[in-house]
C-alpha cells in the first residue's frame, strides 16, 4: 500500500486555502436519469458551499456545462471545458482563481470504437491540466476520468485503463516541476488497492487526501442509483473517485478536512445528485519545503503493467486471426452472390438477397477495418506504453541494484 501522509495541524496560518470538489455527474444525454434536474441541483450545491475549485466529469453535453457555468459564475468566475473526441471529454473545471493556462492530453487507448454501448472511445478521454494563480502560488490542477470497468470477471479494458493510468502519471510527472502545488481530482475508476492507483501515486509522488480506505464513492448503499447486485458484491461501495495532492520545495500541503459534502438525495426529490458521491477536500498551503516521503519501489507495479500490456498484444493477434476468418467466411458467399443471379427471378427473393449482400458487405468492411487500421492503432499504443515503462523499470533496476 502506498503511504498516505497527513501532517499534524499547523499553528501557523496558511498562505492559501483550497477547497476542491470533484464529482462524476453522470450526464449522458437521453440515457442518464433525471439529468437536467440533477444538473440544476449540483449547480445549486456548488453555490451554497464555497469551493475554490470544482472538477466535474461526465458532462457530455455542452448545454449542461453552460447551465452550471451560468449559475455558478458569480462565485466561480473562471471555467473551462475540455473538448475532445466526438462527444467531448466530459471534463470541465470551475475556479475562483484565474486560469493562466490549460492543456489536454488525449490517451491513445480509449476503449473500442465498435463497443458503441459503452461509448468511452467516442468521448476521447484524457488528462486535463489547468494552471491556476492562487494568491501568487502556482497551482496545477489535473482532472481525469479513466476507462470504466464494466465487468470484474471479464475486464476487457484492463490494459487500456492501466496504460491510461501510466500515461496520466507521466503527464503529471513531466508537467508539474514549475508548480508549487499539484492536485489531481477525478473518477480514476480504481480503488486504492488497484494497480492503476499505484502507478499514478507511485510515479508522481501524489498523496491521497483520504485516509479511510473503506469509504465508498461509487455504488454506495444510500445512493438511489445503486443496484442491489452491486451492493451484494461490495456493501460499502467502491472508492474510485479521488483527490490527490503534492507540495514542492516552496510550499507544503496539509489536509484540513475531507468529506462527502452532498446529501444522499437532492432536497425534495427521490433521487441522488449522481450515481457517484461528491468528494471534497480542504487543503492548507503553507510556505516551506514539503516533507519528503519514503520512495516507493515501483518495479513490481511496472512489471505487472508491462505483463498486462504484453497479454493484450497477444490477445490482439488472436482477435486479428478471428477477424481474418470472418473475412474469408464472408468473402466467398459474397463473390458467389455477385456472379450467380439464377435465383433472383422472384422479386421478393431479389430484395431479400440484396439485403443479405448489404449485410455481408458491411460485415466484410468491419472485419477488414479491425484487421488493419484498428489492430495497428491498438498495437502501437500498447507498444508505446510498454516501451516507456521498460525505460523507467530499467533505470529503477540500476538504482536499486
Q: What CATH number is associated with residue 272?
A: 3.60.10.10
Is 276 one of the annotated active-site residues of the chain? yes
Distance CA 82, CA 59 (A): 10
Q: Which residue has the higher pLDDT, 117 or 81?
A: 81
Q: Is 217 in the same domain as 109?
A: yes
Q: Is 184 in the same domain as 273?
A: yes
The strand pairing partners of 59, in sequence order, are: 27
| 33, 132, 168 from 37: Cα distances, Å | 9, 31, 33
Domain for residue 98, yes or no? yes
Tell me the average pLDDT across 188-213: 94
| 6, 7, 30, 54 from 291: Cα distances, Å | 11, 9, 48, 27
> Confidence class of residue 294 from pLDDT cuts 50, 70 and 90?
confident
Domain final position from 228, 256, 287: 287
For residues 94 and 116, is the Cβ–Cβ distance under 8 A?
A: no
Domain for residue 388, yes or no? yes
Among candidate residues 6, 118, 276, 282, the one labeled active-site is 276
- Reported as a single tens digit per residue, the pLDDT across 247-286 is 999 999 999 999 999 999 999 999 999 999 999 999 999 9
Q: Is 272 in the same domain as 318?
A: no
Q: Is 238 in the same domain as 340?
A: no
Q: What is the dihedral of CA 79, 164, 292, 14, to 10 degrees?
A: 10
Q: Looking at 158-260, list the stretches that DSSP marks H as alpha helix, in order from N- to C-terminal side.
A: 158-175, 195-204, 228-233
Tell me the average pLDDT across 372-383: 95
Distance CA 323, CA 343 (A): 29
For residue 59, the 8-state DSSP code is: E
Tell me the average pLDDT across 199-228: 93
Phi (first) and psi of residue 182, to 5 degrees: -120, 130
For residues 158 and 164, is the Cβ–Cβ distance under 8 A?
A: no
Chain length of the chain: 401
Share of the chain above pLDDT 90, in %: 76
- Reported as a single tens digit per residue, the pLDDT across 153-200 is 888 999 999 999 999 999 999 999 999 999 999 999 999 999 999 999
Domain for residue 323, yes or no? yes
Domain for residue 2, yes or no? no
Domain for residue 271, yes or no? yes
| 59, 195, 310, 385 from 313: Cα distances, Å | 32, 19, 5, 12
Domain for residue 195, yes or no? yes
SS3 content of the chain, % helix, strand, coil (to 5): 40, 20, 40
Q: Which residue has the higher pLDDT, 336 or 239?
A: 239
Domain final position from 255, 287, 319: 287
Q: Is 373 in the same domain as 264?
A: no
Q: Is 330 in the same domain as 394?
A: yes
Q: Is 304 in the same domain as 275?
A: no
Domain for residue 8, yes or no? no
> Confidence class of residue 289 from pLDDT cuts 50, 70 and 90?
confident
Cell reading at 324:
481474418
Three-class DSSP category at 391: helix
Cell reading at 365:
468492411
For residues 134 and 18, is the Cβ–Cβ distance under 8 A?
A: yes
Q: Is 364 in the same domain as 331?
A: yes
Domain span at residue 166? 16-287
Say what the pLDDT of residue 401 is.
77
Share of the chain above pLDDT 70, in %: 95
Cell reading at 229:
447486485
Cell reading at 120:
468511452
- What pTM value is reported for the model? 0.92
Q: What is the dihedral of CA 33, 39, 41, 45, to 10 degrees?
A: 140
> Confidence class of residue 346 from pLDDT cuts 50, 70 and 90?
low
Tell me the average pLDDT across 348-370: 86
Domain final position from 252, 287, 322: 287
Count the Cβ atoms, other than its own, within 10 Å of residue 218. 23
- For CA atoms 332, 335, 338, 342, the dihedral sign is negative
Q: Is 74 in the same domain as 169?
A: yes
Q: Is 233 in the same domain as 254?
A: yes
Average pLDDT of the chain is 92
Tell me the average pLDDT across 49-78: 97
For residues 264 and 229, is the Cβ–Cβ distance under 8 A?
A: no
Q: Is 240 in the same domain as 368?
A: no
| 23, 85, 243, 375 from 184: Cα distances, Å | 12, 22, 6, 32
Q: Is 258 in the same domain as 303?
A: no
Number of domains in the chain: 2
- For CA atoms 95, 203, 112, 240, the dihedral sign is negative
Domain for residue 235, yes or no? yes
Amino acid at each position: 500500500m502506498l503511504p498516505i501522509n497527513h501532517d499534524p495541524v499547523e499553528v501557523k496560518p496558511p498562505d492559501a486555502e483550497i477547497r476542491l470538489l470533484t464529482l462524476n455527474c453522470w450526464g449522458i444525454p437521453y440515457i442518464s436519469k433525471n439529468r437536467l434536474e440533477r444538473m440544476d441541483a449540483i449547480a445549486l450545491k456548488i453555490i451554497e458551499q464555497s469551493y475554490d475549485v470544482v472538477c466535474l466529469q461526465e458532462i457530455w453535453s455542452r448545454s449542461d456545462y453552460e447551465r452550471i457555468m451560468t449559475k455558478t459564475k458569480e462565485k466561480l468566475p473562471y471555467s473551462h471545458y475540455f473538448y475532445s473526441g466526438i462527444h467531448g471529454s466530459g471534463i470541465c473545471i470551475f475556479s475562483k482563481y484565474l486560469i493562466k493556462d490549460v492543456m489536454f492530453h488525449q490517451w491513445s487507448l480509449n476503449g473500442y470504437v465498435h463497443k458503441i454501448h459503452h461509448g468511452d472511445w467516442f468521448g476521447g478521454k484524457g488528462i486535463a491540466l489547468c494552471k491556476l494563480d492562487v494568491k501568487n502560488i502556482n497551482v496545477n490542477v489535473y482532472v481525469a476520468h479513466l476507462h470504466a470497468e464494466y465487468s470484474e470477471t471479464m475486464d476487457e479494458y484492463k490494459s487500456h485503463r492501466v496504460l491510461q493510468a501510466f500515461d496520466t502519471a507521466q503527464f503529471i510527472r513531466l508537467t508539474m516541476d514549475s508548480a508549487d502545488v499539484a492536485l489531481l481530482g477525478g473518477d480514476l475508476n480504481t480503488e486504492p488497492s488497484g494497480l492503476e492507483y499505484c502507478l499514478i501515486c507511485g510515479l508522481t509522488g501524489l498523496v491521497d487526501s483520504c485516509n479511510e480506505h473503506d469509504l465508498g464513492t461509487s455504488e454506495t448503499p444510500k445512493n438511489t442509483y445503486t443496484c442491489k447486485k452491486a451492493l451484494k458484491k461490495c456493501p460499502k461501495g467502491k472508492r474510485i473517485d479521488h483527490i490527490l495532492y503534492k507540495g514542492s520545495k516552496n510550499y507544503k500541503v496539509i489536509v484540513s478536512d475531507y468529506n462527502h459534502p452532498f446529501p444522499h438525495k437532492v432536497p425534495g426529490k427521490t433521487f441522488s445528485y449522481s450515481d457517484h458521491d461528491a468528494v471534497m477536500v480542504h487543503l492548507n498551503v503553507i510556505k516551506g519545503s514539503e516533507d519528503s516521503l519514503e520512495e516507493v519501489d515501483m518495479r513490481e507495479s511496472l512489471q505487472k503493467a508491462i505483463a498486462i500490456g504484453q497479454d493484450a498484444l497477444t490477445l490482439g493477434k488472436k482477435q486479428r486471426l478471428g477477424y481474418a476468418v470472418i473475412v474469408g467466411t464472408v468473402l466467398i458467399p459474397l463473390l458467389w452472390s455477385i456472379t450467380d443471379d439464377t435465383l433472383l427471378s422472384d422479386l421478393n427473393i431479389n430484395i431479400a438477397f440484396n439485403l443479405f449482400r448489404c449485410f455481408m458487405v458491411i460485415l466484410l468492411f468491419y472485419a477488414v477495418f479491425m484487421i488493419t487500421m484498428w489492430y495497428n492503432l491498438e498495437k502501437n499504443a500498447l507498444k508505446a506504453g510498454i516501451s516507456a515503462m521498460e525505460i523507467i523499470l530499467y533505470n529503477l533496476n540500476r538504482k536499486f541494484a
